[in-house]
Amino acid sequence: MKTRSKYLLSKIESTYGTDPTPGASEAILTHGLQRTIYDGNVIERGQDMATLGSTESVNTAPYVTHQFGVEVAGSGTLGTAPAFGVLLRACGMAETITASTDVQYDPVSSSFESIASYYDRGGERQIALGMRGNCALSFAVGALPMMNFTMTGLYAKPTTVTAVTPVTSSFQSPLPVNKTNTPTCTIGAYDLIVQSCDIDFGNDVPHLNLVNFEEVLLTNRAMTGSITAIAPTIATKDMFALVESHAGASSSAFQLIHGPTPNLFQLDAPAMQLTGISEVDINGEQGYTMPFKLLPSSGDDELKITIA
């Protein structure tokens, strides 16, 4: 059984925990796919014995986790959901499709969707139902932009199956982060000269196993991140005024656009609050690394992802 011989099939569940039977066309083009096959809370029996020795351990609430990356790119067709859209939906984002125009993903605070994921390797399959998770976006100059997912689902024992041929042709080829492919990154009206930008959805997804109830919940969201950019002079852009909060916090609109239409991937945040600032060297140029929060403006709007 080769370690590289593995793939993931994922599909939205109509009913939580009910298998929608994803097929070869629901394959996810992953990077660094790893799983925790059998995780959960483990207790020791700890019974009294006449001799020394260990006692049995018991997993009281088993679950499965998948960790993997997916390249950032559009869908290739205006108004067509990208193949990775099911993953964003399982990370607390609602999908809105406008025919022949774009597809948008916005955070929600209720009616969370879930996916079923088949992890196939070497003729064995582990089915994880009820999966929900977290996404972290990474845009770094000189690299391919990535979405890094950590997904948690209900445990099932792997079984022997006949492997399928995964179809990933709907995934578009990614473009590296650079001046040509990433034409826009602004905070307020200022064009940042960016080396890297990372955004973490900050989803809390506990696995809850009670009498008559088992589910991977999505209980909280706190979007944060960090951006590293060339330091402007104060006369050009006073970054310190954006960071200082001791006399009142402030926030600014943020936008990042990567790729041309119809492979455009756009981020819009109405209220980015910079929460710190530190110096960093960027190839001999003075730079700043600035952690931030993405705050809601009117609610469930702290980050919009547009595919166009």
| Distance separating alpha carbons of residues 268 and 301, to the nearest angstrom | 9
CB distance 39 to 1 below 8 Å: no
Contacts of 192 (CB under 8 A, 6+ apart): 185, 186, 227, 229, 230
| In contact, 38 and 56? CB cutoff 8 Å | no
In a domain, 204, yes or no: yes
Band of pLDDT at residue 85, cut at 50, 70 and 90: very high
Give the DSSP H or E segment for 150.
strand 146-154
Is residue 43 assigned to a domain?
Answer: no
Query: pTM to 2 decimals?
Result: 0.96
**Cα 267-197-28 angle, rounded to 5 deg:** 65
Total domains present in the chain: 1
Write out the DSSP string of 57-95: EEESS-EEEEEEEEE----SSTT---TTHHHHHTTTEEE
Tens of pLDDT, residue by residue over 13-35, are 999 999 999 999 999 999 999 99
Q: Percent of the chain, pLDDT > 70?
A: 100
* Residue 1 covered by a domain: no
Q: Which range marks the domain in which residue 111 is found?
A: 6-38+59-307
* Residue 50 located in a structural domain: no
Q: How far apart are CA 20 and CA 257, in angstroms?
A: 34
The total of other beta-carbon atoms located within 10 Å of residue 299's CB is: 8
Distances (CA, A) of 249 to 149, 197, 268, 276: 31, 22, 20, 12
In the block, which residue shows the tokens 């000269």?
Answer: 193
Residue 31 lies in a domain: yes
Q: Is 197 within the bounds of a domain?
A: yes
pLDDT in tens, 219-241: 999 999 999 999 999 999 999 99
The arithmetic mean of pLDDT across residues 286-295, rounded, is: 98
